[in-house]
Structure 1
Amino acid sequence: MKAWLIANHFLMSKKFSELTDWLFQAAKAANIEMVLMSNADCLAFLGRGGVDAFKQYHETLPDFVLFWDKDVRLATYLETLGIPVYNSSKSIALCDDKSMTHLTLEQYGIPMPKTIIAPMTYENIGYTDYDFLTMVEKELHYPLVIKECFGSFGAQVYLAKDENELLEKVEQIGTKPMLFQEFIKSSEGRDIRLQVVGDQVVASMYRYSEIDFRANISNGGKMKAYQPTDEQIALALECTKRLGLTFAGVDLLFGEHEEPIVCEVNSNAHFKNIYDCTGVDTAKQIINYILLEKRNHRC
């Protein structure tokens, strides 16, 4: 079986390359002939003769693509060629944009923090007034959370404690898409990450921080292995199903009565920390699941 593993050409840090190397080795161990490619090595050719041109550069198309990137345009193109892509372009797009994640899950009654999506403005115009923030303050109260719709590792998540901090942060974010959420006080500095592959939660960890309202390891948080409840497992699986994901990292908060609340869903969740914490090899789990699905499909 032949496969492509596609990563972003312009993310060259060890933090990302070690994951693609890990996935590559897992595929090799499963006797999959996998080729590691970047999105710059695999350009989408459109229009007259586009497909023929693409095939000149890639004489043999893979049986599937493991898409470890967020280049949804390329993922969509590969799907138009009839190549199975994991995760799909649609599910990657839904997870990459936090507002679209919440809009999708809202349709199915998934529990999440009270959320308000900022109005869209144009880059050359910006916000000519901030009157809409009055509604945000009224509905969410302080402190409240501000999130850029596109971001990773908690780096684009902020806490505003008053009107001045809210306005300052919104002005700083500028015209980039953002949303506002109620601050779940009962989950301050703690959450859980559930690693989902197929229809199973294969690993989970409890993340906690004594120095930040965010529990992300990248922001100084700590971690330990965690046994999720049936309710937490069911919610994580429901999220991945509704977002069309084959594999994902689902982050859950703790409500006032410890009930699970969805924080976000990651289509390309980094799995080194959860491996260090639990010993579960997510790369192996992903490869084995795709193999099983391909075999079942042939049957």
Structure 2
Amino acid sequence: MAQPTCWIVYNGNLPQKKFMDFAEWTARAAEKKGITPSIIKNNELLVSFTNGKSSISGRYENSSPDFVIFGDKDVFLAKQLEKLGIPVYNSADSIEICDNKSRMYQTLADHGIPFPKTIIAPKVFGDLHDYSHYPAIVKEIGFPMVIKEAFGSFGMQVHLAENEQRLLELMRTLKNTEYVFQEMVGSSYGRDVRINIVDGKAVACMLRRSESDFRANVSFGGKTEPYTPTEEQVQLAAACAEVTGTAFAGVDLLFGPDGSPLVCEINSNAHIRSIYECTGIDVALPMMDFILDDLKRRGSVHE
């Protein structure tokens, strides 16, 4: 019987090595599990509409894999692959939930999952002219305040407002960008926990700590160390994966003032090199095991 085949999709417009690194890392794991991978740029798969019908055109229009590992956030491409009957991991809807922080926090709130006090910035068209919502936000959240752009990764679109002047400056600069206002959790300043969840189970965990930034991200100088999570942290991370529909996810947790964990965010496209370098655990291997088991349940592959 032929080996299962998979496409590993990454964003062709992102030149940084860490994006290609994820694709290459998961490709090696696929090969170890007897899967034949192809690494494909998202711009080699074009979502096309002709005579009222949708299809994939471009370089790979006449081929189809057994499944796709979607290491990108091109949601409409992921949706189109699903429309063609190809299993996509993670699903388009789960990627969309995690990619948009406003939708992510609404989803978490719908299921009673704890996270810092958050307000979604009102929709703005063009420049910001009406600041009438500003006093209510300051009264509700106070300073310092975290401003998170709805779309962003590696902490690069997360800002800190220490006072009113900085907050107003950020609001003017962001204008019609979607973002949220969020409470700063002082008890977790510069540190968080990353738990990688696969099929509802914690497979790897690390503590991230920064001595120089309120963000613990490695991209901003955060250091990592292996960490044994509490049962409460594991259950919370697993619940996040469940409610967002992610088969596998990197869940970032904060340390609340009373010691209880709070959700920072959920990553549906979590990069896995840093947690491997920290813990020695290759998260891609259990990811492949889950996918093969899921395909068997679907009847897509056989023993």
TM-score, scaled relative to structure 1: 0.95
For 2:58 and 2:52, the matched residues in 1 are separated by 10
Q: 1:112 to 1:28 in 2, by over 3 A?
A: same
Residue 28 to residue 117, structure 1, CA distance change in 2 (3 Å)? same
Q: How does 1:90-239 map to 2 (within 5 A)?
A: 90-122=93-125, 125-239=126-240
Match of 2:9 in 1: 6
Q: 2:79 aligns with which of 76, 90, 97?
A: 76
Q: For 1:45, what is the secondary structure of its paired residue?
A: strand
Alpha-carbon distance between aligned partners in 1 of 2:238 and 2:256, rounded to the nearest angstrom: 19
Distance in 1, matches of 2:60 and 2:253, equals 43
Task: State the AA in 1 paired with 2:243.
Answer: R
Give the secondary-structure state (helix, strand or coil) at the position aligned to 1:46.
strand
Structure 1 CA distance for aligned equivalents of residues 248 and 128 of structure 2: 37
**One-letter amino acid of the counterpart of residue 42, structure 1:** L
- SS of structure 2 residue aligned to 1:44: strand
Distance 1:261 1:80 in 2: 36
Report how many aligned residue pairs link the two structures: 297
1:297 alignment counterpart: 298
Distance 2:26 2:248 in 1: 13
Any runs of at least 4 consecutive aligned residues in structure 1 with deviations exceeding 6 A, and if so which?
none
Deviation at 1:158, TM superposition (A): 1.3
Give the aligned residue type for 1:21.
Answer: E
Q: What SS class does the counterpart of residue 46 from structure 2 fall into? A: coil
Report the residue type matching 1:185 in the other structure: G
**Partner in structure 2 of residue 280 of structure 1:** 281
Map of 1:24 onto structure 2:
27
- Alignment-mate amino acid for residue 188 of structure 1: Y
What SS class does the counterpart of residue 44 from structure 2 fall into?
A: coil
Give, in whole Å, the separation in 1 of the partners of 2:62 and 2:130: 55
Q: CA deviation at 1:53?
A: 7.1
> Alpha-carbon deviation of 1:29?
1.6
Indicate the SS of the match to 1:119: coil
1:65 and 2:68 are equivalent in the alignment? yes
> Counterpart of 1:240?
241
Amino acid at match of 1:47: T
Deviates more, 1:38-47 or 1:271-280: 38-47
Deviation (angstroms), 1:126: 2.1
CA distance in 2, matches of 1:267, 1:13: 19
Superposition deviation, residue 193 in structure 1: 0.4
Question: CA 1:52–1:204 in 2, change beyond 3 Å: closer, same or farther?
Answer: closer
In the TM superposition, what whole-angstrom CA distance separates every residue of 1:198-243 from its partner, at most 9, and x where no partner exists?
1211000011111111111111111100000111000001001000
Partners of 1:173 and 1:51 in 2: CA distance = 35
TM-score by length of 2: 0.94
CA distance in 2, matches of 1:12, 1:215: 24
Q: SS of the residue aligned with 2:65?
A: coil
* Residue 52 of structure 1, CA deviation: 6.9
Counterpart in the other structure of 2:91: 88
TM-superposed deviation, 1:174: 2.0
SS at match of 1:37: strand
How many Å separate the matches in 2 of 1:147 and 1:203? 26
Query: Partner amino acid for 1:152?
Result: S
Structure-2 separation of matches of 1:195 and 1:156: 22
Residues 82-91 or 10-19, more deviating: 10-19
Structure-2 separation of matches of 1:52 and 1:203: 38
Distance in 1 separating the partners of 2:20 and 2:231: 34
1:296 deviation in Å? 2.9
C-alpha contact (below 8 Å) 2:91/2:245 kept by paired residues: yes
What is the CA distance between 1:170 and its match in structure 2?
1.3
Q: Which amino acid aligns with 1:279?
A: G
SS of match in other structure, 2:103: helix
Distance 1:133 1:254 in 2: 28
Q: For 1:59 and 1:180, how far apart are their aligned partners in 2?
A: 46
Counterparts of 1:87 and 1:232 in 2: how far apart (Å)? Answer: 22
Q: Per-residue deviation at 1:86?
A: 0.5
Which residue of 1 is the match for residue 41 of structure 2?
Answer: 38
CA RMSD of aligned residues (A): 1.6
Unaligned runs of 5+ in 1: none
CA distance 1:56–1:126, shift in 2 (3 Å): closer
